[in-house]
Amino acid sequence: MAHDTILLTNKVCCNFGGLKALSDLDLEIIENSIHSLIGPNGAGKTTAFNVISQNIKPTSGEIWFRGARIDGVKPHQVAEIGMSRTYQNIRLFANVTAIENILVGMHLHLRSTWWGSIFNTPATRADEKRAHDEALRLLEFVDLKGRGDIIARNLPYGDQRRLEIARALAAQPKLLLLDEPTAGMNPHEISDMMDFIRKVRDEVGVTILLIEHQMRIVMALSDKVTVLDHGQKIAEGLPKEVQGNPAVIEAYLGSGKLVPKKARDAARATLNA
Ligand SMILES: Nc1ncnc2c1ncn2[C@@H]1O[C@H](COP(=O)(O)OP(=O)(O)OP(=O)(O)O)[C@@H](O)[C@H]1O
Ligand SMILES: [Mg+2]
């Protein structure tokens, strides 16, 4: 494993009954890069996130993160060594405040012991103060300054997406997995999110693995792109290289089927958008 590789998967498979959701996936994520995972619906992108974060145990293969083999370990152990993720459908604690959501994400890094929290020792109070200050700093970083006391579900959609990222960042990850962070956003929110993703990489120094459907965003943000189709890697390279790849265009059209010219043009337009 080269010194600048943060995550490596080696022939990772994930079967659901007879369905091969991932077949022999080899991925190499370079530290401090923005690496995009793309492909049509059902290609296996979210499954790749699930096996990398150990939310699902891979059927076979190896996964290495920061020099340690992690396939088969518990998701919280993966989090402890520096991996955080967000979900395709927002998973916030909807009925608690924005700041409490961030504090939950931070709990891994609080030093306090359980008896400290029971007896409310000075050390615990100091930790709580530090955590609260850090949560406020994160809120400001994700442009939610002053909105910490709002119940999560009452925040606008774009704010909820950024809050979820703030919660993921609260665990101080080295690698952040973002599953369609711009889904359902308007063009203005999308452009803000793109700037924000760059800021997370450039200012916090977090490596980013991104699932994204809109090619415009993939082209603008990615250092490298991996394309999945039916659980298999069908292309990989610089954004420009994969965009023009005939196999990628075929995948977006639905492989093996006779496709009307109109649909073919629509798929090309998606890739060129
Ligand atoms: N927990 C599961 N149990 C059974 N089948 C699953 C499970 N998770 C995913 N699948 C199936 O695995 C395949 C890949 O799904 P996955 O969610 O990884 O696709 P995706 O690339 O993220 O698609 P989308 O772009 O629609 O989010 C699909 O056929 C899906 O139905
Ligand atoms: Mg998905």
What are the tokens at 41?
């619906």
Mark residue 256 as left, alpha or beta (left: phi above 0; alpha: psi -120 to 50; beta: remaining). Answer: left
CATH 3.40.50.300 range(s) for the chain read 1-82+173-238
Low-confidence ranges of the chain (pLDDT < 50): 1-2, 112, 255-257
Q: Is the CB of 57 under 6 A from ligand 1?
A: no
- Protein residues near ligand 2, an ion, with CB under 5 A: 45-46, 88
Q: Is the CB of 162 under 6 A from ligand 1?
A: no
Q: Of 22, 23, 36, 45, which is best to mutate to test ligand 1, by the most ligand atoms within 8 angstroms of its C-beta?
A: 45
Q: Is the CB of 21 under 6 A from ligand 1?
A: yes
Query: How is domain 1-82+173-238 classified at the CATH fold level?
Result: Rossmann fold (3.40.50)
Q: Are 43 and 37 in contact (CB under 8 A)?
A: no
**CA gap 199, 55 in Å, rounded:** 27
pLDDT in the model for residue 127: 77
| Residues 82-91: tens digit of each pLDDT | 999 999 988 9
| Residues 110-162: tens digit of each pLDDT | 554 555 556 666 677 777 888 899 999 999 999 999 999 999 999 999 999 99
Of 85, 77, 3, 94, give the one whose Cα is nearest residue 46: 85
Q: Is the CB of 16 under 6 A from ligand 1?
A: yes
pLDDT in the model for residue 149: 97
Which residues lie across from 20 on neighbouring strands? 15
| Cα of 248 from ligand 1 centre, angstroms | 19
- Specify the ligand 1 atom closest to the Cα of 44: 18
Q: Is the CB of 43 under 6 A from ligand 1?
A: yes
Strands 60-65 and 5-16: antiparallel
Residue 179 CB contacts under 8 Å (≥ 6 apart), including other chains? 45, 46, 49, 85, 86, 87, 88, 211
Q: Is the CB of 41 under 6 A from ligand 1?
A: yes
